[in-house]
Amino acid sequence: MCTEQTEMLLIIGPHRQPVSEAEAEDLAAQDTPSEAKPEDGFIAHQLSPSSWNRYEECPRKYWLSRQGLPRKASMPAAMGNAVHNSVEDLCNLDLTGRDEDESGWLPATAKAVLDRHWQIEKDNFLETPRHPRWKGEQITKAHDGLIGALNILFSKSNIDVQNLSEVTVGTWREVQSIVLANEGTLVSECGRMMGRLDLLVADLDENGESRGWIVADLKTGRPPSPMLNEKVSRQLRFYRDLLKQNNPNHPPVVAEGWYSANQTVHQADGPDVLEAALEAWEGMRPSATPLPANPGEQQCGWCEWKAWCPIWWAARRDGLLSPGHMFRDEVVQVVRFDREAGAALFQRMPPVGEEGELAPSDHKFGAVIRDQALTQLSELLDSGHEGAIFIGSARMDGRVAHLGDWCEVIPWSPMNEGHARDHSRWLRSNSDTVFDGIGEDGEASQSK
């Protein structure tokens, strides 16, 4: 109905697996033998928007994320994947032979697609070495997110939909016709930068004519208020600029964040970011020496690598980081443990120097331990572990710590030397470069 684009899109490896940049990076970090020798022209690492953000927040966090350490699953990420992949499947839905006027099919189809992806996410989540409790009840939120994303797609198609059950097969075909590509990987000409694109859609004017392309990133998290933050803006512009570089004859391109929670669309404006990304790429080279750390409340708050990072614990000692109020991270030695009662006495182990060495202290505190935390501590001690332990997110009630499903109990393992692997071997050897022509009706993007 709407597109005139005849440009070629360079999309590398539109695979379902891995589904996220983080997973691609994880596989890359784990799969390549450390003794691998660089080949001519081999690119030792690739920058993605998420690795770039991590590097900007704290280079040490980025460095630790490249050491093949066990990853931690999170509910927000699982929910985001389930919604993204459901939108993708619905955009690719094969409607061949279906009656144009058929209605009432979309709510049940959307639910079935989401249920399937929810189950896949649950399996992946539970298989991830570090994971909190799976919150199955959050499927309601995921369902709302999916509906929100579909509503944005309807509005981008200039279609007024009050109720999903009204949507006919013909209407959905119209929506599909504006989707030019989804879930492909964009790689820069130099091979140093990559990003996984959620959706590329035709930018329709009020007459249904295409005036360009929209690079859209689906967001299931909290919508911005009022503006996109710099991190998200930079990520969206990165996709925009990579797409433009891959398609020299591109029409006007805008980058948008689609927030499913409140169905708002936020456009990212601003200068090109690829030069800044290349500069960051230089600093992100694989190295056996840890990159500098940049401890701070924000970046350390949700950092999943604390058990391997000696810097935040030293920053706590030096008063650069606050201990936190209700929830605290601690590094301790077990003094006593009563498995039956779910109780323990811990001794706090303050840091000596900056490399993770610890000293005993007089500071002891009791803990009530339940569920996953109890299992983790029991298994750790049963395995013969005698060293210090990192406790993530203990809930403090006076001088007593409460540990449960929301906590992590893992060995304290400060990492002061790593490896300098090639991280992009997996990406390069498992990706086929494909050129997808975008036809007048955008059909090339609909086949699966």
Per CB under 6 A, residues contacting ligand SF4 are: 58, 60-61, 64, 293, 295, 299-300, 303, 305-306, 309, 311-312
Residue 13 or 295 having the CB closest to ligand SF4: 295
Phi, psi of 328 (to 5 degrees): -135, 150
Report the nearest approach of ligand SF4 to the CB of residue 412 (Å): 13
Question: Residue 301 or residue 437: which is nearer to ligand SF4 going by CB?
Answer: 301
- Closer CB to ligand SF4, residue 62 or residue 259? 62
Least gap, CB of 329 to ligand SF4 (angstroms): 9
Residue 251 CA to residue 200 CA, distance in Å, equals 12
Tell the smallest beta-carbon distance from residue 46 to ligand SF4 (Å). 21
Q: Which is nearer to ligand SF4, 306 or 423 (CB)?
A: 306
Q: Nearer Cβ to ligand SF4, position 208 or 296?
A: 296
For ligand SF4, which is the closer residue by CB, 308 or 365? 308
Least distance between ligand SF4 and beta carbon 299 (Å): 4
Tally of residues, the chain? 448
Residue closer to ligand SF4 by CB (options 303, 349) is: 303
Nearer to ligand SF4, 66 or 117 (CB): 66
Report the nearest approach of ligand SF4 to the CB of residue 147 (Å). 35
Minimal distance, residue 206 CB to ligand SF4, in Å:
47
What distance in Å separates the CA atoms of residue 163 and residue 165, rounded to the nearest whole number? 5
Q: How far is the CB of 294 from ligand SF4 (least distance, A)?
A: 6
Q: Which residues contact 187 (CB under 8 A, 6 or more apart)?
A: 10, 12, 46, 193, 194, 242, 246, 431
User: Rounded to the nearest whole angstrom, what is the least distance from the CB of residue 26 to ligand SF4 in the complex?
Assistant: 17
Closer residue to ligand SF4 in complex, CB, 63/281? 63
- With the C-alpha atoms ordered 126, 132, 133, 134, is the resulting torsion angle positive or negative? negative
Q: Least CB distance from residue 286 to ligand SF4, whole Å?
A: 17
178 contacts 156 by C-beta, under 8 angstroms: yes
CB atoms within 10 A of CB 156: 21
